[in-house]
Amino acid sequence: MTSEAFTLVRHAMPQQVPDEDPSTWRLGPEGVAAARQLSSVVPQDTYLVASPEPKACATALLVTGREPALDVRLVEVRRPSRWNSAHRSDARRYLSGESVIGWEDQDDVIRRISESLDDHQERAGQRRLVVVGHGISATLWVAAALGLDAVRWWKSLRFPDAWEIDLHTLRAHRIEAVA
């Protein structure tokens, strides 16, 4: 990646609809309010890119007031689209490096996120890159890039959340919203 630092935003909490594919879930009133609170932490002159999933697009728009560029490489980890009551335990196993039946290979996720970040950093030029995505896919990339414990970092994520990712110092720092 050509830049040393960028802002990574995890989408706000969507309304969970068990009969629908999670990739189609939209933000409810609480998610909308939470995303708006993050608007104080993102500078105005940024290059904004997001996953095309509705919850990420909406979070990007609410945080910045602008439509983001969309990149399918930023989608959440591909996995079965049915409701899964064991999702959290499957996610922990997956983030620990285990293969989970039907889940996208971890190396493929890291590769596609890396390629997306490289491409969009180049397009951002001198502007700050702001990336709005998902918890599990972003966690895989952050853990690989910074050498962090993936499960621990994922469990610390909020809905929504904003992080300064610094590749020069290999650190991730949460950006707190101003109340």
DSSP string across 101-145: TTSPPHHHHHHHHHHHHHHHHHHHTTSEEEEEE-HHHHHHHHHHH
Best CA proximity match to 57, nearest among 98, 90, 26: 26
Q: Is 81 part of any domain?
A: yes
Residue pair 161/13 in contact (Cβ under 8 Å)? The answer is no
The model's pLDDT over 76-102, given as tens digits with 9 standing for 90+, comes to: 999 998 888 899 999 999 999 999 999
The pLDDT of residue 136 is 98
The domain total for the chain is 1
Q: Is 37 part of any domain?
A: yes
CA 134 – CA 142 distance, rounded (Å): 12
Residue pair 146/171 in contact (Cβ under 8 Å)? The answer is yes
The two beta strands, 5-10 and 161-166, are: antiparallel
Q: Is 179 part of any domain?
A: no
The model's pLDDT over 119-141, given as tens digits with 9 standing for 90+, comes to: 999 999 999 999 999 999 999 99
Q: Is 140 part of any domain?
A: yes
Q: Is 133 part of any domain?
A: yes
The answer, yes or no, to whether residue 52 has pLDDT greater than 60, is yes
Average the pLDDT over 21-49 and give the result: 94
Residue 49 sits in which domain range? 5-174
The answer, yes or no, to whether residue 2 has pLDDT greater than 70, is no
Residue pair 158/31 in contact (Cβ under 8 Å)? The answer is no
Q: Is 157 part of any domain?
A: yes
**Whole-prediction pTM:** 0.96
Can you give the CATH number for the domain in which 105 is found? 3.40.50.1240
Q: Is the dihedral of CA 20, 12, 117, 148 positive or negative?
A: negative
User: How many angstroms separate the Cα of 30 from the Cα of each of 26, 34, 54, 163?
Assistant: 11, 6, 15, 21
Q: Is 63 part of any domain?
A: yes
Q: Is 49 part of any domain?
A: yes
Average pLDDT taken over every residue of the chain: 95
